[in-house]
Each structure stands twice: as structure tokens, then as C-alpha cells.
Amino acid sequence: MTIKYDKIMSSKKDLESIDRTNPANVAAALIHTFPNYKKDDTSNFYEMLQFLVGEYQPISEMMKQNIKDRMMQNNKIDFIGKSYFKGAIPSNDYTPSVPYEIEVIENDYSDDAEGYKRLFLKSGGADSPRPITLRLAKDGNYYVWSDSFIGLLADIRGLESENPWA
């Protein structure tokens, strides 16, 4: 399933407009948080992330450090988030196509655990889609489950413009 957006969401207020009863919408919305991670001020990023994980799953200092480590690894802070939008690949320095589209993939095991949904997101800098787990709450909305999204921040190919071998 492909989910389209006119712009990259940049605040919790933007996220409040998504239909969280659809797990694919929540998974795709998470991608919008990544470009909002800034070295000097992570408060907006964490406000957005907290909205998507829900109030009953506080973001720990350990999780914050894990996110920081992955964002700073190989200086991918500037492009890891954009890499999940269609058209964003190393050869164009992860410049996404407009409208912004995110491919959310289900497989035969996506519904193996009752109340959970395991989906996959494709990065233009990775060879295979990466998993995320969402959990259905009593309010009928899906939330990003625990730190299941950390794999989305795993290393990807760098910018081709900065690759001396490309």
C-alpha cells in the first residue's frame, strides 16, 4: 500500500490529522518524524514520536540515546528520514518525489499476534524493507509498539555526492 502526502509533516499538530485506526497510516506517519530530528533541538521530534507511541509508553533516556547514536552514525541524520519516501535514493542524495509517498508492506506474518500488526517500510538506501510493529489499544487506535521502529534507523547507503568511489 502506498500512502501519499502533499508535504512532510513537521509537528504533532500535523500528526493529529492522521487516521490512527489504520496501522499503515501510523507506520507511514512515523517516517515524518525522522526529518524533524535536529542535532541542536530534538524537542519537536520527541513530541511527535511520543504522540505516535502513545502516552502509556514514555520515551526513556536509553531509547533517546539509542536514537541519537543511530541518527549520528555515518552522518545519516540529514537523509535517513527522507530515504523512506519514494524516489529518494543515494544517486539523488535522497531527494524524494512529490507528492511524498511511503510504501507500507504487509506479508503473511503481519497479523501473527493478536492486537499487533507487523509492517515493513522500504528505504531507497537499503536492500530490503525494514520492520515496525504497531499495537492496537483499547481506544481503537494503533500505536508504534515500544522500540520496534529502531531498525528503521539502521545504516543505509550514504549520499552518492559524498562517495569518492561512486
- What pLDDT, in 10s, does the model give residues 9-50? 999 999 999 999 999 999 999 999 999 999 999 999 999 999
Residue 139, classified by CB atoms within 10 Å of its CB into exposed (0-12), middle (13-18) or buried (19+), is exposed
CA separation for the pair 152, 159 (Å, rounded): 17
Per-residue pLDDT, 162: 87
Residues 119 and 110 sit within 8 Å (Cβ to Cβ): yes
Residues 142 and 117 sit within 8 Å (Cβ to Cβ): yes
Q: pLDDT tens digits for 68-105?
A: 999 999 889 999 999 999 999 999 999 999 999 999 99
Write down the mean pLDDT value for the chain: 96
pTM of the predicted model as reported, rounded to 2 decimal places: 0.95
CA separation for the pair 94, 148 (Å, rounded): 24
Residue 53 pLDDT exceeds 90: yes
Give CA angle at 125 (123, 127), nearest 5°: 80
Q: pLDDT tens digits for 117-143?
A: 999 999 999 999 999 999 999 999 999
